[in-house]
Every structure is written in C-alpha cells, then in structure tokens.
Amino acid sequence: MLKIILVSIFFYFSISVWAEEGQKNSEKEGYTLKPVLLDGSNSNSIALGIEYGLSNGWVFKGEEDEYADSDSDVDENGYWVDDVNKKVRRNSGYLKYELSGVWTSEEETNPESFSKVKIELGYDYFRPSDSWNKDFDFYLAYSMEGDQDFDNRQEVTSASFSGYFGNPKGTYIVSIIELGQVDASENEQRMALTTIDKFDRLSGEVAFKYKLDFGESRKYKPKSIGINYRYFSEKSAPQSIKSAGLDKFKRYSIVLKFEHGLYIAYSKGELPFDLQEEKVLKVGLTHNLF
Amino acid sequence: MAYKWRKNLACFSTYRVLERDDRLDQFEEELVPLDKSAGKYKVSYMAFYPDDGSPKVKEKAARNIAVKFIRFTIKDYKPKKEETSQTLKKWHGELTNLFKDGDKTLTDIAEVQDEYCKFKDEMED
C-alpha cells in the first residue's frame, strides 16, 4: 500500500513539476560503457561482459541556481572569488536517476550478474554561512536491484527527510527520518519465521559530532567525539517476528577520535540485516590505538 | 596516470587548509608531518568524519566541510580558475564526493584542487 501511495505521489509530483517548470536543467549526467573480462568462480572459463552506467539529474532552478551558474565566480583577472556560500546554496527541487550493471550475452556465464535502477525526486534546501550551516532535504526514492535481466529482483520504495545544523568549528548534528518498504526475501533468519518477505519500516538516525579543542598542547589529545543513534521499527510486524525480537532494532555508538584513525569507541545494539554493511564499529568497547 | 603527492601548491594548500588550527584543524602537524606520507592520510582519519553514520550522514558532513575547504583555499592561496567551464558548484560537488568517502586521501583531494585551481606556482610571472 505504501509503495502504491509513494509511487503515485512520485509520478504526480514529477508531472506537475515538469508541466509548470520550464527551467529544468540537466545538472549531473554521465555514462560509462566498457568491456570487462569476467572470471567465473565455478569454472575455468572467462566471459566477456559489458559494464554500464548511466546517470542524469535535473534541478528545477530558482533564482539562486541561476546565480550559481553565472560567470561571476571569477574576477576580471580570472581569480576565483570567495562567493562559495551563495554559489552552492540550494532552494530547489530535483530529479535524478541512475542505471548501472554488468551484462553478458549469457547470464549463466556472468559471475557479476547485476543491475540497478534508482529514481529520486526531492527538494533540497542548503544554506552554508559564516555562522550555522543549514542543510535539509526531502525525497522520494524508488530503486530496483537484481540480476542482469531483472529476473530476480528486489524493490525498495522510501520517503526520507534529513536535516543538518553545523557551525564553522566542526560541530554538527544530523537527523534523518525515513519510511520505506523493505524486501527481506534474502534474509534467511526472517524467512525461517514468516512468509511475509516485504514490510514497511520506519527508521530514524541522529548523529552528533563535537569538535574538541585542547589548545596548544594537544598532541595526543582526542580531536572529536561523535555520537550516533539509529532506530528501526517494522510496521505491523507478525507475532513470530516480534517474539524473535526482529521487529525493532536500536543501535548507538560513541567514538572518541584521535589522530591517524585511532579511536576508542563504545557501541551497543545491532542494525537490521539489510544495513549490516554500514556498520563500522563492533558492538562493545573497541579501540584502534596501535 | 594516478596523481602523485608532491611539492606543489595544490598539495601544500590541501594539507595546510586541513591542518591549520585556525582553518579546518582536522589533524596535527606533529603527528602528520608534511612529507610524502601525508598524501596517504585518509579522509576517515579526520576529526569531522562520522565513522558510524549512515551514507546520508556522511554526505551531509562532507557537503558542509567542502564549502569551508574551498573558502579557505581561495582566501589563503588566491588561485585562478583552471578552465573557464568550471564553476564553484562543480568544484564543491567533486570535493563532496571525496569527503564522504573515508578511503579517499589527501592526494585525491589535492588532485581535484589541481584540476580546478591554477596556483601561483603554475602561473607565469
């Protein structure tokens, strides 16, 4: 249901914006197309494939974007002018898409059989300044990942809002809230408990970073302290998932950071199955001092 | 060919803007001296980098530090634009992509600086 609503909003919004907005401009486009030799892991054969990628994006430009694209970022002698705060700020909608994958003539010979499509429609408000930077965005996203012909695939639809406040000293806070539909068919632990492989999930994150300053003698003093909290809740989870404690996930971490990637960290909790790769720190007290 | 960390203003300015206490102050010169090894210093080692954050948090943090990085580069080193088609927005976009990737290094950042800036050591008298 959520997916239908979001996709409907997505297309309605797309058509409305396109119909009313005559100033859409291509901002980010690119493509890659290159042959690759794929070494099959289960055979001695080598397959010739094509790695492809295509992306493009449009910003529905306002006056600020027009200003950003003007030639006023250099002086009469060709020197960059410090006008960055105004040049990069945003107050506009955007639409972007990405298509990527690896393709071979016969899918069975493709050890990296992969393809992905992602479409994102959003609104971006970005205000860098000499005091507090403000950076907000809201977007609807639809993505489909699968093997090269999308015979096996999973789809993700989501709506997100994120906000950032930060000062020039390097202290900042970011908060994110997202409602999305998750495809959990690859999650063996879940599939052993229920046949419901798709569900709606509400998630949130708060990240805080405080830049530490110990003055002159700070050679071995920490540089920053970071706190991160993430929360995930499955909507209308079946009883079997609740009983197994898989309907809610919480995780927080505190990182005291020194030089050269040295840190002392404490973290507790877990991330959901599909986001495990985002986890950098181990659960518990960890350190990386020597 | 891959860009190399060397004695030029692209590398020097990258290092100084990130190191100076009155600039971004991301590391200490005593522990990360300005020599060949400095070019290997990773973005994930820097104080601002949100190690345990989601990709969105990293993107936000990167986008915001990239603005300050450009401002200090222009203020302190007064470079010229390398190519007329370049814009501050594109420069900022490229730096944001580097600052959100913890595996990128000072050398990667210096490469972008060299691509967008003609520093005094490249200008004819």
Give the per-residue pLDDT at A182.
85
Residues A215 and A250: beta-carbon distance below 8 Å: no
Residues A142 and A157: beta-carbon distance below 8 Å: yes
Write out the DSSP string of A111-179: TT-EEEEEEEEEEEEEE--SS-EEEEEEEEEEEEEESTTSSSEEEEEEEEEEEEEE-TTS-EEEEEEEE
- What's phi and psi for B32, nearest 5 deg? -125, 80
The residue of chain B with its CA nearest to that of A172 is: B61
More confident residue, B24 or A46: B24
Residues A59 and A89: beta-carbon distance below 8 Å: no
Domain ranges of chain B: 9-122
Give the per-residue pLDDT at A192.
87
Q: Convert the pLDDT of each residue in B32-79 to its tens digit.
A: 999 989 999 999 999 999 988 998 999 999 999 999 999 999 999 999
Give the per-residue pLDDT at A280.
67
The tens place of each residue's pLDDT in chain A, 290 residues long, gives 445 454 444 444 444 444 333 333 444 457 788 888 777 555 566 778 888 889 888 888 777 777 777 778 899 899 999 888 988 988 999 999 989 888 887 777 777 777 889 899 999 999 999 889 999 999 999 988 777 887 777 778 999 999 999 988 889 999 999 999 988 777 777 888 889 988 999 999 999 999 998 766 566 788 999 999 999 999 999 999 999 888 999 999 999 998 888 889 999 998 887 776 666 676 666 766 54
Give the per-residue pLDDT at A217.
59
Domain ranges of chain A: 34-66+86-285
**Amino acid in the structure at residue A201:** R
Q: Which two tokens stand for residue A152?
A: 């096996």
> Of the candidates A194, A202, A113, which has an alpha carbon nearest to the alpha carbon of residue A153?
A113
Residue with tokens 């659960």: A283
The residue of chain A with its CA nearest to that of B27 is: A259
Q: Does B61 touch chain A (CB under 8 A)?
A: yes
More confident residue, B123 or A228: A228
Integer angstrom CA distances of residue B53 from A58, A182, A240, B10, B95 = 27, 20, 30, 30, 19
Residue with tokens 């910003």: A59
Distance, in angstroms, between B66 CA and closest chain A CA?
Answer: 10
Chain B neighbors of A74, CB-CB under 8 A: 80-81
Collapsed DSSP state (helix, strand, coil) of residue B67: helix
Q: What kind of architecture, by CATH, is found in domain A34-66+86-285?
A: Beta Barrel (2.40)
Distance, in angstroms, between A254 CA and closest chain B CA?
Answer: 9
Chain B neighbors of A172, CB-CB under 8 A: 48, 60-61, 64
Q: Does B97 touch chain A (CB under 8 A)?
A: no
> Of the candidates B37, B38, B49, which has an alpha carbon nearest to the alpha carbon of residue B13?
B38
If one counts every other C-beta atom within 10 angstroms of the C-beta of residue A227, the result is 16
Judge: A267–B52 Cβ closer than 8 Å, yes or no: yes
Integer angstrom CA distances of residue A165 from A71, A87, A133, A168, A224 = 30, 19, 6, 10, 17
B94 pLDDT higher than 50 = yes
Distance, in angstroms, between B71 CA and closest chain A CA?
Answer: 6
Give the per-residue pLDDT at A23.
39
